[in-house]
Amino acid sequence: MHLKIDGRYMKQGWLIVNEYLDTEKFLEIRKLFLSGAEKKNVKLTVYTNADFAVDLSGAVVKSRAFDEGEPEFIIFYDKDIALAAALEKMGYRLYNSADAIDVCDSKVKTATRISEYNLNCRGDEAKILMPRTYKVPFTYENIGIKDSYSFDFLEYVEKDLCEAGEGALSDAYPMVIKESNSSFGMGVHLAGSREEAIKLICEYGNKACIIQEYISYSSGRDYRLQMVSDKCVCAMMRSNENDFRANITNGGKMSEYKPTDEDLALARNVMKCLKLDFAGIDIVHDKSGRTVFLEANSNAHFKNIYDLTGINAAEKMIEYIVGKAE
């Protein structure tokens, strides 16, 4: 159903965000969505996940929001997967889907999905190159990991990384250790030795984490491609002279970037693989110049890239959604 205002018919949609992310940083994203919606003649109403009650026994969502009218689409800019999944079961189309958000929120799930995609590729050109990635063994909440436990798995990781290098143990290090559900560069560390790796893994405790090959050529530098469907609407390079992490939150600086054809091809394959409607795709280049996938951000924070380029990614997202809804 369209809403008629001043003689014009407007599409109606919801933007669902997290109730508890209420700092200025996140409020700015809401404003960019509302601004983009206004330019596209869309009535966008903002709700938070606390406005909805999810009846898990019946997979039904209850809220006063439904009294205001049925949305034609829902932009789900949160990670409350249970709410997203319940809304989908009620027949609502979410951008992004519950599955896409869930997979992107876990580096373990992302790497697994990318690996499955690559195994099913018929040609090397369609494959998504990513650093060698290993899962740290699961442990229980009240147990964690102690340095007295077995670290046999780490020896296999070292061996793999050595074989990819020159064969010496030193070629396995440094290695990157990441919390699986981390954001903004937090929970990402560089281990320069086996002792440092074990110490970091123990500090993570019961948190799921991964070990990744360190691409030294790109240390302190990466690229963010803001994708809407198969189009890159804007891009930037992030660089940090004082940290191997390039995130702006960690002091990185940004500059405009024109993606290469290989960058764009990889980003499109990632979007296809993870079934994303929009995302911030992070990449680096290795010493051979190849494009390497790092991670996909389903709920990318695009205020920085807006400040840099003047392009409101939210407006592009809404334009895409309206086209899909017609």
- Give 264-283 pLDDT, tens digit per residue: 999 999 999 999 999 999 99
133-214 topology per CATH: Dna Ligase; domain 1 (3.30.1490)
Confidence of residue 122 (pLDDT cuts 50, 70, 90): confident
104-129+217-308 carries CATH number 3.50.50.60: no
Q: What is the pLDDT of residue 124?
A: 64
Query: How far, in Å, are 85, 117, 270 from residue 130 at the CA level?
Result: 29, 12, 11
Task: Give me Rg for the CA atoms of the chain.
Answer: 21
How many other C-beta atoms lie within 10 A of the C-beta of residue 142? 7
**pTM summary value:** 0.92
- Just give the CATH number of 3-95+321-325: 3.40.50.20
Q: What is the pLDDT of residue 60?
A: 85
Sheet with strand 175-179: strands edge to edge = 133-135, 209-213, 175-179, 188-191
pLDDT at 75 over 90: yes
Average pLDDT of the residues of the chain: 91
pLDDT at 131 over 50: yes
Q: Are 285 and 294 in contact (CB under 8 A)?
A: no
Q: What is the pLDDT of residue 182?
A: 77
- 93 compared with 58, residue with greater pLDDT: 93
pLDDT at 204 over 70: yes
Confidence of residue 141 (pLDDT cuts 50, 70, 90): confident
Cα dihedral 117/118/124/129 (nearest 10): 110
Confidence of residue 221 (pLDDT cuts 50, 70, 90): very high
Q: What is the pLDDT of residue 7?
A: 44
Task: Give CA–CA dist 221/242, Å, rounded.
Answer: 11
Q: What is the pLDDT of residue 185?
A: 66
* Angle value at C-alpha 44, between 39 and 302, nearest 5 degrees: 70
User: What percent of the chain has pLDDT above 70?
Assistant: 93
3-state secondary structure of 254: strand
3-state secondary structure of 251: coil
pLDDT at 228 over 90: yes
Q: Give the domain ranges of the chain.
A: 3-95+321-325, 104-129+217-308, 133-214
3-state secondary structure of 74: strand
Q: What is the mean pLDDT of residues 46-56?
A: 96
Write out the DSSP string of 14-51: EEEE-TT--SHHHHHHHHHHHHHHHHTTEEEEEEEGGG
241 DSSP 8-state letter: S
Q: What is the pLDDT of residue 125?
A: 64
pLDDT at 1 over 80: no
Confidence of residue 167 (pLDDT cuts 50, 70, 90): low
- Give 292-305 pLDDT, tens digit per residue: 999 999 999 999 99
Which residues, 6+ apart, have CB-to-CB distance to 242 below 8 Å?
220, 251
Q: What's the burial of 100, exposed, middle or buried (CB within 10 Å: 0-12/13-18/19+)?
A: buried
- Count CA atoms closer than 13 A to 300's CA, side-chain side: 29
Q: What is the pLDDT of residue 142?
A: 86
- Give 142-160 pLDDT, tens digit per residue: 898 988 899 999 999 999 9
Q: What is the pLDDT of residue 54?
A: 96
